[in-house]
Amino acid sequence: MTTLSTHVLDTANGTPAQGLKITLKRLEPQPKELGVFTTNADGRVSEELLREKEALVGVYEITFHAGDYLRKLGLTLPDYPFLDVVPVRFGISEDTHYHVPLLLSPYGYSTYRGS
C-alpha cells in the first residue's frame, strides 16, 4: 500500500513548525487536488495525506506555505519574501511509503526522501 507523510522542522528556531499550511495535488496521470492540511504541534500532519484510492503511480506536488507560517511567528517579511510558497514536486513509482520532510528557515529549505 502506498502511503505519504511529511514533517516540517523550523531550523531557525530549532522546533517543529506547528500551524503550517500544506496542500497536496496529483499532477499526472490524472490531475487532482488531494487536500489541504495543517501541521500539528510535532510539525506533522495528523490525518492521512494520501488515501489508498488516490495513490496512483505518477507525479505529485506538496506545497508548503512557508511565508504565512513565518508571518504568524511574528517575523517581519518584505512584500516579496525570499521564501513564500515552497512547492516540492516528486514522483511515486512503487507501492511503498514515501516521506517528504521539509527543513525550513526564512532564507533556505531542504527536503529529501525520508523513511
Greatest CA separation found in the chain?
Answer: 43
Which pLDDT does position 1 carry in this prediction?
87
5 in Cβ contact with 40 (< 8 Å): no
Residues 6 or more apart whose Cβ sits within 8 Å of residue 79: none
Measured over the CA atoms of residue 62, residue 68, residue 73 and residue 78, the dihedral's sign is positive
Report if pTM > 0.85: yes
User: CA 43, CA 23: separation in Å to the nearest integer?
Assistant: 15
∠ CA 77-46-89, nearest 5°, is 60
pLDDT digits (tens, 9 = 90+) for 10-63: 999 999 999 999 999 999 999 999 999 999 999 999 999 998 889 999 999 999
pLDDT digits (tens, 9 = 90+) for 63-72: 999 999 999 9
Instruction: Please choose, from the candidates 70, 80, 79, 64, the residue with its C-alpha nearest in 3D space to the C-alpha of residue 106.
Output: 70
Assigned CATH topology for domain 3-111: Immunoglobulin-like (2.60.40)
Kindly state the average pLDDT of the residues 79-108: 96
Checking if the pLDDT of 4 tops 90, the result is yes
The pLDDT-based confidence of 76 (bands split at 50, 70, 90) is: confident
Q: Which residue has the higher pLDDT, 85 or 78?
A: 85
